[in-house]
Structure 1
Amino acid sequence: MLRFIEDLQLISPSQSVLVALSGGIDSVSLLNVLLQIHKKLKFRVFAAHLNHMLRHSATRDENFVKDLCRDLNIELYVERVNVIDFCRENGLGIEEGARKLRYEFLERAKNALHCDVIALAHNLNDLVETIIHRMARGTGPTGLVCMKPKTDDRIRPFLYIKRSEIESYAKRRNLNYVEDETNLDIKYTRNYIRHQVIPMLRKINPSIEEALFQLHLSCLMLEEHVERFIERQRTIESDRRIIFSIRELDMFQIIELIKRATEKFGERLEFEHVRQFLQHLHDSSWTLRLSKKLWLEKSFELVCVEKEHTKIESMDITHPGLYDFNGWLFKVSEDVESELFAFVKLPILLRTRKQGDRIESKKLKDLLIEARIPSFLRNEMPLVFEDDIILWVPYVYVDERLKNRIKNDNFAILNLLNDPMRFILELRKEAG
């Protein structure tokens, strides 16, 4: 444990460590080990216990933890929560709801006790059970990483230690702990995997834990490779969309970028979405709904993950100032302040395209395609009207009358300060 913590830098000198203490053998052993080494590594130890109120013995566990921490002179933070009511109100399963409440509680405890990291007692058996659960539920290779020794402010010093080793340690140290009788109830998925699935797998491979540990490490290395790739990849991000070029990318890289973009909007990329995407990968343009309010769209060599949002359809510009039209930022002033600008007579109208819009003899739709404007921008691009005539469509069209105008008192200057298209052009240039 000491070497593991030092090698992976799980705990730094002078830090305060909060142990998630259920009272079971794993968490009690973790607390004991940390107390054995805390003086050498110069960190402080605290504890937190959440009473889930799921069983009659929950109060017994709470009292046991209180007595243990008092005897060890460990400061303890305790809360009670009704998991059943919470799950019923939020439509969650007991395991999922309890996990959500537990992690929220630990953050509160960490803040209340001014701790730096939270120590969780997950061990190799827990990791194996989670891998099997995810495999059964369906996941990609990076999804099999499941847990890491360190994730943000959470550390798992026991992660690569077998439960049998922990039990042996507890016996040698004569540690007292409480047993959770629900651990034998196979109606819970994790217990079913532990007591039914793993024993059957052990008949095929007696070293099933080591085999899945090897799989975990391989997936962890793959995840690290993916992280480095994503850090190098240029993307355009805003609060409503993420855009990237798929030129020169393989299918795995594309899917990983879509997955990360989807996660940033709080959603999960399902296998059915991946399957549909791969079916249409070589189509020039198409749209796929990822969730109720999230869309995936491909246009030319670009992929966009976009959150549903309200679009401005028209805007009257009557006086100098700043105007945000669907992310296209204009400024009306007396001076030229941008590379893209036009001399205009106020008032002017900005509006999005409508069916049947034409410029001279051409359909606006065709002009947008010729200019390689991505489909996800076309319905919110500004058309600049003066006296009911389209004078300017940025990056697409400039009327001859604008080209011949010069700065004088009769004209205001419409500066295009910022817009999503200029970043797309940079992205295309970088992608070659």
Structure 2
Amino acid sequence: MLENLKKHIAKKLPFLQQQKLLIAISGGLDSVVMAHMFHALHYNIAFAHCNFQLRDAESDGDAIFVENLAKTLQVECHTKKFDTENYANQQKVSIQMAARSLRYAWFEELATTFEYDYILTAHHADDALETFIINLSRGTGIDGLTGIPMQNGNIMRPLLPFTRIEILAYAKQHKLAWREDSSNASTKYIRNKIRHDLVPMLKELHPTFMENFQATQQHLQESKHIITASIEKFQKEVITETSEGVFSIDIKKVQDNLYPKAYLFEILRPYGFTAWKDIVALLNGQSGKQINSKTYRLIKDRVHLLLQPLHAEENIEAVEITEHARNITNPIQLQWEEVSTVTTTGNSVLYVDKALLKFPLTVRKWKNGDYFYPYGMKGKKKLSKYFKDEKYSLIDKENQWLLCNEGQIVWVIGKRSDNRYKLTQPTNSIIKFTLK
């Protein structure tokens, strides 16, 4: 199967011959074989080498090796040194995660700057098996079991169908030189422990273990397509966008499904949620309870779960309106002007007798105990009761702004004005407020 690697690239990936390719090359066996094959097939390639400075002189030796290989093949070569340990400490991540983050960020930067169409990495079948076992040991869904994808955006992995043994045989047949990473021999890292201890045992149990594993992954990937279609159909049935960026999940429809936990997992996993027991409990929890991921929050609101992004900006509770400023743009866009007659009407416009107002006015969020005298009704009403009658969600309440005059609510902005501020007699001094 030695030449099958080259035939696979020529047959399966012919479109790459018309593209500008960036090959991620460490100097190790896998990346050197990939570089050799693409060069032999006359593809338009360049090298990118990361020096993570984790192995002292050995790391520098890898960089020199790659640069010399690039000169021999007459290929452009990009190299960069990273302070990986410092980055890992700053980001509070492992060395492996730090290196991965730095590597891919730089590759994307190179692709943008030099207009590379694809970034090629040398992952192969054994890498996919190791990733499968790592994910399985930690607990995962079908995405974790389907392993490393052949393509993810502009990143491609041409060697994925082939094993380390096949790649090694190709290198020996073509008398290729490569660098050995001494850290690969250490079982300090979980991936190396799996590679050196667990995988040989599995292959010993069954002589065709790798072939069986690859067939299993193919079955899983096909099953994933079916699951994805089912999830998309389910999402359309249970999720609606209630306002910009806020999604409502119908609890009853989720619970009526035979597999509510599985569907919730698939729906919410892309938003960074991991506390699955708490999320399932939220279905029957009290209104107001919420669970946060790093970027989103999930709120129980009567018969729905509300999904909303967390905003990093400052949480503004109130802002003053002066008589001469004429508009505010944050937290909402509100304009005001003096007019002599009432023209346009609607929920986004309010006319008030200027004599009833004392500047500065205040635009603020609601708080417990707030009340107003709703226009068109007799008597006063607590704002909390008004929200309930209007079927406000918890997020709707949080996002509602009030226009206030000396502590009194003049306008539930965009919704309902206060009877105490309605125009009762002709006047030439009217303030018109417009919500943009």
State the identity %. 25
Name the SS of the counterpart of 1:160 in structure 2: coil
The answer to whether the 8 Å contact 2:21/2:116 transfers is yes
Residue 191 of structure 1: CA displacement? 0.5
Q: Which residue of 1 aligns with 2:392?
A: 373
**TM-score, structure 2 as length reference:** 0.79
Q: Which residue of 2 aligns with 1:280?
A: 282
The answer to whether the 8 Å contact 1:121/1:157 transfers is yes
Q: Which residue of 1 aligns with 2:333?
A: 329
The answer to whether the 8 Å contact 2:371/2:383 transfers is yes
The 2-side partners of 1:344 and 1:145 are apart by: 63
Name the SS of the counterpart of 1:285 in structure 2: coil
Change (3 A) 1:34 1:366: same
Change (3 A) 1:106 1:254: same
Name the SS of the counterpart of 1:126 in structure 2: helix
Q: Which residue of 1 aligns with 2:69?
A: 68
Change (3 A) 1:75 1:337: farther
- Could you report, residue by residue, the CA deviation over 1:71-93 in whole angstroms, capped at 9, with x for unpaired residues? 11111112223433443444332
Residue 377 of structure 1: CA displacement? 3.3
Between the two proteins, the alignment pairs up a number of residues equal to 401
Which one has a bigger Cα radius of gyration?
Answer: 2
Change (3 A) 1:356 1:152: same
Answering whether residue 49 of structure 2 is matched by residue 20 of structure 1, we say no
The answer to whether the 8 Å contact 1:144/1:219 transfers is no
The answer to whether the 8 Å contact 1:18/1:115 transfers is yes
The answer to whether the 8 Å contact 1:338/1:415 transfers is no
Change (3 A) 1:168 1:254: same
The answer to whether the 8 Å contact 2:335/2:434 transfers is yes
Q: What CA RMSD, in Å, does the superposition of the two structures yield over aligned residues?
A: 3.4
- Could you report, residue by residue, the CA deviation over 1:190-217 in whole angstroms, capped at 9, with x for unpaired residues? 1011112223344555525325523651
The answer to whether the 8 Å contact 1:129/1:190 transfers is yes
Change (3 A) 1:244 1:12: same
* Amino acid in the other structure paired with 1:173: H
The 2-side partners of 1:60 and 1:181 are apart by: 12
The 1-side partners of 2:425 and 2:9 are apart by: 70
The 1-side partners of 2:153 and 2:424 are apart by: 58
Residue 27 of structure 1: CA displacement? 0.7
- Could you report, residue by residue, the CA deviation over 1:241-264 in whole angstroms, capped at 9, with x for unpaired residues? x4112134564444444333x3xx
- Could you report, residue by residue, the CA deviation over 1:134-155 in whole angstroms, capped at 9, with x for unpaired residues? 2222333234344322222211
Q: Which residue of 2 aligns with 1:188?
A: 189
Listed as ranges, the gaps of 5+ residues in structure 2 are 373-378
The 1-side partners of 2:167 and 2:345 are apart by: 68
282, 289, 292: which one pairs with 1:290? 292
Answering whether residue 229 of structure 2 is matched by residue 225 of structure 1, we say yes
* Amino acid in the other structure paired with 2:409: I
Q: Which residue of 2 aligns with 1:80?
A: 81
Residue 130 of structure 1: CA displacement? 1.1
* Amino acid in the other structure paired with 1:410: S
The 2-side partners of 1:412 and 1:389 are apart by: 17
261, 268, 287: which one pairs with 1:258? 268
Matches within 5 A, 1:385-404: 385-386=404-405, 388-394=407-413, 397-400=416-419
Name the SS of the counterpart of 2:316 in structure 1: coil
